[in-house]
Structure 1
């Protein structure tokens, strides 16, 4: 069952602790949602401790909000907190049967995506190609084509591939790290949400379909009769495959074997993780570093039973 839109308050807290003082740090944050198809951002703010000497903000090439700051005084702790108020809309597709558009052959989308002059979403064309962390390869196309036989409908085929990756790959936080090449994760058949998303993107691009990386949050639903645990929600990653002008971008979550619904809250999109890393930068000094991240996703309206298309 699908439901109407849901509104959330999100807090994403990142804390760094250093064994030695940091003299200078310069960082970029991509933690703030941007209003785009499927999500409306009502308000979003960033607070940094200690207070930065300089702050700038801009929107990057992919439409993501970027908050840049520099601290030029000695410090041994750094805390960045992003608070956002958003509404997430349900996808256009409620089931595999309720839209004629869901019967669009994947081969039609593939062929249309190659014609940039007629492509309604011209940025989709750019997600056809290799990116620093996702390289196309025959090993990926051979795996993907089992789901994309003949003129199978793109929504049905994308969901089938999503479920196969979930089934064939083991979720293992020790198998990979943030720098593990996608081809290695594929051969290991193991990894985390970042790896699962990269693998599916590689599969889709390798058969000629535009696919992009999505960073965001996944609302957790407590067991019946139990209170919601503050801070128990997660940063998450999934992907979108372009489904043509009628379906637009189809969000797929191979970590959870489903198409995304209103429990998935998108924040940034890019070619791969390198374009959407929540926080990155450089420091001078610091010694040994410890990192703690806490995310809290709170529904602002009474919770309604939801489910993703699976």
Structure 2
């Protein structure tokens, strides 16, 4: 599937901003089941400085500085991505063996997946998460099957409610209330896995949403999406180190590379704080308003073939 993504963020300031520094994670990578065909980043006002680099997790990020006074800021990222259907993974390692791989001991070699076992800004493992997870993790159960069951339970037992949480809402609150959005479901699942000593990371991206029957696709009506990756040591050992497998508790989807050809990955990190689409600091503004519009649509050729 070939998908075009437009992600536009607009800030309006009162009074005007005198100086601004921002960083964005908006460039999709080329990975298994996903190839970035084209990408463009438009910023208004024109930045005095714009540079791109790769962070510690391999994500492409852009830094920009605006040194002129401005009352509004518009950042528009346009991507063209070719996706493929992902495949289920075969893994037999038990969850206890996967956990034991990352238990620290003297002279242990550093493993890049190890930091995804520990707490992070929005993910604080604890007894409540461990208790919720244990039903999915009986002794000797394969890690991948247990993780699938946990994904299924969150999908079935939590209510998707756009007005129930904010990004600052603790995962413990989302767990207690059994409601939230994709970020909350992902943070809860991460906290459950890490509470058992299992490595899991946060994935940001997009999802092709379908309009109701007979209704047109509305420009700007889509949104960013989030899901989870778990690390499977036995798969990594047989697959040149690539042991991450994606699970989406919001939609009960899974796959190698992404959970499906209607998903587009943007970035991976410990949680949302590592890879928010856009963040920064400004000087000189009292208040601001923000609007975000995301459109994910098949290209014309794809739409005609369907």
Q: TM-score range by the shorter chain?
A: 0.7 to 0.9
What is the rounded CA distance, in whole Å, between the counterparts of 2:173 and 2:96 in structure 1? 28
Deviations 1:70-103 (A, max 9, x none): 111111111001111222333331xxxxx6x244
Between Structure 1 and Structure 2, how many residues are aligned? Answer: 294
Question: Using the alignment, how far apart are the partners of 2:170 and 2:234 within structure 1?
Answer: 32
Structure 2 residue 203 is matched with structure 1 residue 214: yes
TM-score by length of 1: 0.86
Secondary structure in 1 matching 2:138: coil
DSSP 3-state at the match of 1:11: strand
SS at match of 2:217: coil
How far residue 225 of structure 1 moved from its aligned partner, in angstroms, is 4.9
Q: Is the 8 A contact 1:159 1:258 kept in 2?
A: no
Matched-pair contact (CA < 8 Å) for 2:2–2:302: no
Taking the aligned partners of 2:213 and 2:167, their CA distance within structure 1 comes to 35
Mark the CA change 1:125 to 1:91 in structure 2 (over 3 Å): closer, same or farther: farther
1:154 match: 143
C-alpha distance in 2, partners of 1:198/1:304? 38
Answer whether contact 1:29 1:280 (CA < 8 A) is retained: yes
Corresponding residue number in structure 1 for 2:73: 78
Flag the 1:16–1:205 CA change in 2: closer, same or farther, 3 A. same
Give structure 1 stretches of 5+ with no counterpart.
Answer: 1-5, 94-98
- The answer to whether 1:133 aligns with 2:118 is no
Partner of 1:96: none
Alignment of 1:142-221 (within 5 A): 142-221=131-210
Root mean square deviation, CA, Å: 2.6
1:213/1:240 contact within 8 Å kept:
yes
**Stretch of structure 1 that moved more, 144-153 or 263-272:** 144-153
Matched position secondary structure for 1:302: helix
Deviations 1:130-178, CA, capped at 9 Å, x for gaps: 1122111121111111011122233322221112112222222333211
When residues 9 and 167 of structure 1 are mapped into structure 2, their CA distance, relative to the original with a 3 A threshold, is same
Question: Which residue of the other structure, out of 248, 262, 265, is the alignment partner of 1:253?
Answer: 248
User: 1:236 & 1:48 partners in 2: Cα distance?
Assistant: 23
Whole-angstrom CA distance in 2 between matches of 1:227 and 1:190 = 29
CA deviations on 1:97-121 (whole Å, 9 max, x unpaired) are xx6x2444333333334489999x9
Classify the secondary structure of the residue corresponding to 1:123: coil
The aligned residue for residue 269 of structure 1 is 268
The answer (yes or no) to whether the contact 2:91–2:234 under 8 Å persists in 1 is: no
Greater CA deviation, 219-228 or 179-188?
Answer: 219-228
Classify 1:92/1:246 alpha carbon distance in 2 versus 1 (closer, same or farther; 3 Å): farther
